[in-house]
Chains A and B, each alone.
Chain A
Amino acid sequence: MKESLMDIVCCPIDKGELELDVEERDGEEIVSGTLTCTDCGEVYPIEDGIPNLLPPDMREDAVA
Chain B
Amino acid sequence: MTRDLAERRGVETEVYGAAEDSQLLAEAAAEAIEPGWTVLDCGTGSGHVGGAVADAGDVRVIASDLNPHACRRAQDRGLEAVRADLLAPFRADAFDAVLFNPPYLPTDPENEWNDWMEVALSGGESGREVIDPFLDSVGRVLAPDGIVLLLVSSLTGFEDVLEYAEKRGFEANVVNEESFPFETLSVVKLRR
Contact = CB atoms under 8 A, between A and B. Distances in A.
Interface of A: 1-2, 5, 7-13, 15, 48-55, 58, 61, 63-64
Given A49-B75, A54-B66, A55-B88, A9 B80 contact: no
Given A63-B119, A64-B116, A53 B94 contact: no
Nearest to A61: B68
A55 B81 contact: no
Contact of B80 (A5, A61, A63, A64): A5
Given A7-B91, A11-B89, A64-B13, A53 B116 contact: no
Interface residues of B, number: 27
Contacts of A2: 80
Contacts of B89: 9-12, 53
Most buried by A among B75, B91, B115, B119: B91
Interface of B: 13-14, 38, 62, 66, 68, 71-72, 75, 80-85, 88-92, 94-95, 114-116, 118-119
Contact of A54 (B75, B83, B118): B83
Nearest to A13: B88
A8 B119 CA distance: 25
A9 B118 contact: no
A50 B13 contact: no
B175 to A, nearest CB: 25
Overall SS of chain A's interface:
loop
Contacts of A9: 82, 89-91
A7 B141 CA distance: 12
Contact of A53 (B72, B80, B82): B82
Given A64-B13, A64-B14, 10 more contacts: A5-B62, A7-B94, A8-B91, A12-B84, A50-B72, A50-B75, A51-B83, A53-B82, A54-B66, A64-B115
B13 A53 contact: no
30 contacts: A1-B80, A1-B82, A2-B80, A5-B62, A5-B82, A7-B91, A7-B94, A8-B38, A8-B62, A8-B95, A9-B89, A9-B90, A9-B91, A12-B85, A12-B88, A13-B88, A15-B92, A48-B75, A49-B75, A50-B72, A52-B83, A53-B83, A53-B84, A53-B89, A54-B83, A55-B85, A63-B114, A63-B116, A64-B13, A64-B115
